[in-house]
A and B are shown apart, each in its own frame.
Chain A
Amino acid sequence: MDELRRNDAFDHELRRALAAGGGAPSGAHVDAEVAAAWIERRLDAAAQRAVETHLADCADCQTMLATLARISPDGDAVSGEAVAWWRRLRAGWVVPAAVAAAAALVIWVAVPQQRQAPESTQSRAVPPPTPAFPDAAAPAATAPEADRKAANQPAAPAPPSAPSTVAPQTTLNVERRDQRADTSAPAPTQQPPAAAPPAPAPAPPAESDKGSAKLEAEAPAVDARRERFAAAGESPARPASPSQDAAGGVTSRALDSLARVAPTRPSPLVIVAADGAARWRRTGGTLEFAPRGTAPFSATALPIAADAISAGSSPGGTVCWLVGRAGAVLVSADGLTFTRVTAPAPVDFVAVTAIDARIATVTASGGRRFRTTDAGATWSPQ
């Protein structure tokens, strides 16, 4: 029996043994409340270990936990919004960052006096890249993972410490490319007393309006997004950086300039198809399209100015819906040519959730939502 088949047999048996559970689980089953607290690391250390020990041997609770993991968005509730960002910093990269900063300070102080010995900084080794799973002796295990990555994984996974994305609804399908967001959410048959449309203007940030910690968590959230873009080989369309003084700080004049310019500059817009293949991005005054992850971007044909677009959604393939100001609702089947459809109302639209080329739900800035099932020919309020 060759090694490949032996690996297959071993993996199959390992899966069978693990699915059957490791034996008599210790402690009580994990209910929804404990599972939620455990996954957010909010239990004390002893309780956290006790739950983990139970989960390790209880196939039933593992199934619940796995289901919860599948429906939790990237970098969100599971790890992000649960733990204050400074705790993650302390446990994560802040230590090496602090060491690097201290080293830089020492070098900055020492170099003017020791210009003859620069090798102390040049000899620093770059850490090797992280090795990929599994071991070389286990090719059978690598194949399923490759399949999973191709099918499920975003090109660059968010760091597990990514904090809560304080994302308005308009950027949901931009930030979470592997999430089939369905914000259409028609009201259930039983309406609560306050089922009136929500107030439009002071819409609080989604999911994590948690006081001051939220504001403090925004900075690492933005960094995490930038890292994701950078790792995917894209350059996030950041606003042009204001001029900086020699020390790297932003001057007050630059801030004033930025404040004047910012309201007129369109925000970054990147739309990723639900299957992760096609992408659209707004650069300058144009919307560009790439049919695959590695394909180059090319300009699309838009019947309106790209700056007027506020959100987009692609359910997969090359189908893409766009919405924007002044009743702008557009759809494209090939990804390149967008057709404007009749809007349900002459208002500004802030979000769209597309199911396919015919079914989509758009959200107006006032909170009203409209759904079409015939590619925009008719709309019904939700």
Chain B
Amino acid sequence: MAEMAPWRLDAATAERLHRVARAEQWGVSIDTFTRAVERGVRHAFAGDPPDPSQLERHLASLRVEDLALACGCAAGHEGAWEHFIREYRPILYRAASALDPTGGARDLADALYAELFGLTERDGTRRSHFEYFHGRSSLATWLRAVLAQRSVDRARASRRLAPLPEEEPASGGDAPAPRSADHGRFVALLRTALVAAVGRLAPRDRLRLACYYAQELTLAQIGRTLGEHEATVSRQLAKARKTVRADVERQLREAGLNEAAIAECFAAVSADPGPLDLTDLLEPAGGKNPETGRST
């Protein structure tokens, strides 16, 4: 990949960040730290030189102490590694344990740990995964995010290789209930209206609904994720759901359906198993409690 624009951090800012980050304690020189900050800026702004106000906000939001620690670890500084092992490795393994309490995600954490140490080599030099940490979040959250990403990737890969369930042979036992001539039309009408209604919500409302209904997060988890109080999540979910339902029924009425026909629409989707439910196949690793079927 071509080198990005030759943007450089000015010396005074670099010295200030280096001091604030207390990078000296991990043996990180100003030059090394400056290169790490510049790498992060280029990554954040996709190579475009940031304007001064953007740059100021970006630099102010950096977790410079965590970035200094990552630089120290990437360089193999003994004290930095001791600190990381003491403070952050438990976080990594707790996250793996939360992903899969039976220990199934431990190898993911081990692999990430090895990459952080820098087992992979390129051009004869050790490459540490710490180089991908740019200080835009805390090191702890970044570690969890990397682990979460890998867990999802692995779950997807394994499910792509899993055989599809065999079709149940048709038996004469439970014959499907006879469907009305309008069954297919009712199902399609309601589903189309529902997609349109959800699409008209604000992105945050859609995300909140998806977190609750599709991802099955708890209200507390959604609240932490979106930075909202649990009660706010609850109220906004109820409000969005009510809005969507009212919108759907309005669309059905505008399509010429009366109340009885609208009720038939709901009955039709209730009786319709639908296509293969991809959410069951793509359930995130560690997301379901095997005993309860609920999200953990």
Contact = CB atoms under 8 A, between A and B. Distances in A.
B90 A183 contact: yes
B241 A14 contact: yes
A75 interface: yes
A198 to B, nearest CB: 4
B257 interface: no
Interface in B181-234: 190-191, 194-195, 198-199, 203-204, 206-207, 209-211, 213-225, 227-231, 233-234
B207 A62 contact: yes
Contacts of A179: 94, 98
B114 A190 contact: yes
B267 A1 contact: yes
A34 B92 CA distance: 18
A77 B287 contact: no
Given A35-B145, A36-B142, A190-B119, A138 B241 contact: yes
Contact of B140 (A1, A81, A194): A81
A258 B197 CA distance: 62
A47 B117 CA distance: 31
Interface stretch (A116-124, A148-156, A235-243, A289-297): A148-156
Contacts of A59: 210, 214, 282
Instruction: Indicate the member of A17, A60, A138 with the most B CB atoms within 10 Å.
Output: A17
Contacts of A180: 97-98, 101
A247 interface: no
A255 B50 CA distance: 52
A22 B93 contact: no
A63 B269 CA distance: 25
A210 interface: yes
B27 interface: no
Contacts of A333: none
Nearest to B77: A194
B221 A69 contact: yes
Contacts of B33: none
Contacts of A39: 137, 141, 145, 225
B287 A66 contact: yes
Interface in B247-296: 248, 263-264, 266-267, 269-270, 274, 277-279, 282, 284-287, 289, 292, 294-296
A5 interface: yes
**Chain B at the A interface: mostly helix, strand, loop or mixed?**
helix
Contact of A68 (B144, B216, B233): B144
Nearest to B229: A160
A67 B99 contact: yes
Interface string A4-36: 011011111111111110110000000111111
Given A33-B133, A68-B145, A70-B217, A193 B81 contact: yes
A236 to B, nearest CB: 20
Contacts of B231: 130-131
A70 B195 contact: no
A147 interface: yes
A54 to B, nearest CB: 8
A210 B233 CA distance: 30
B287 A32 contact: no
Nearest to B119: A190
Contacts of A56: 203-204, 206-207, 210
A78 interface: yes
Interface stretch (A200-208, A298-306, A319-327): A200-208
A374 to B, nearest CB: 18
A14 B209 contact: yes
Interface residues of A, number: 107
A77 B90 CA distance: 14
Interface string A135-150: 1011001000101110
Nearest to B233: A133
B191 A42 contact: no
B23 interface: no
B247 to A, nearest CB: 12
A204 B207 CA distance: 37
Contacts of B211: 62, 65-66, 69
B269 A79 contact: no
B58 A44 contact: yes
Nearest to B20: A211
Contact of B89 (A16, A133, A154, A185): A185
B210 to A, nearest CB: 5
B90 A185 contact: yes
Contacts of A82: 137-138, 141
A37 interface: yes
Nearest to A129: B231
A134 interface: yes
A18 B203 CA distance: 12
Contacts of A18: 198, 206, 209-210, 213-214
A175 interface: no
Contacts of A188: 109-110, 113-114
28 contacts: A1-B267, A5-B267, A8-B270, A10-B266, A13-B191, A23-B199, A35-B145, A35-B149, A39-B141, A43-B136, A56-B203, A63-B282, A66-B215, A67-B148, A67-B285, A69-B217, A70-B217, A71-B147, A81-B140, A138-B242, A145-B219, A160-B230, A182-B94, A183-B94, A185-B90, A189-B110, A193-B81, A207-B87
Interface of A: 1, 5-6, 8-20, 22-23, 31-37, 39-44, 49, 52-53, 55-57, 59-60, 62-79, 81-82, 130-135, 137-138, 141, 145, 147-149, 151-154, 157-160, 169, 179-185, 188-190, 192-196, 198-199, 203-204, 206-211, 367
Given A132-B234, A184-B93, 17 more contacts: A14-B213, A15-B213, A19-B210, A20-B278, A32-B148, A52-B203, A55-B207, A56-B204, A66-B221, A66-B284, A151-B294, A185-B92, A189-B114, A206-B87, A207-B91, A207-B140, A209-B87
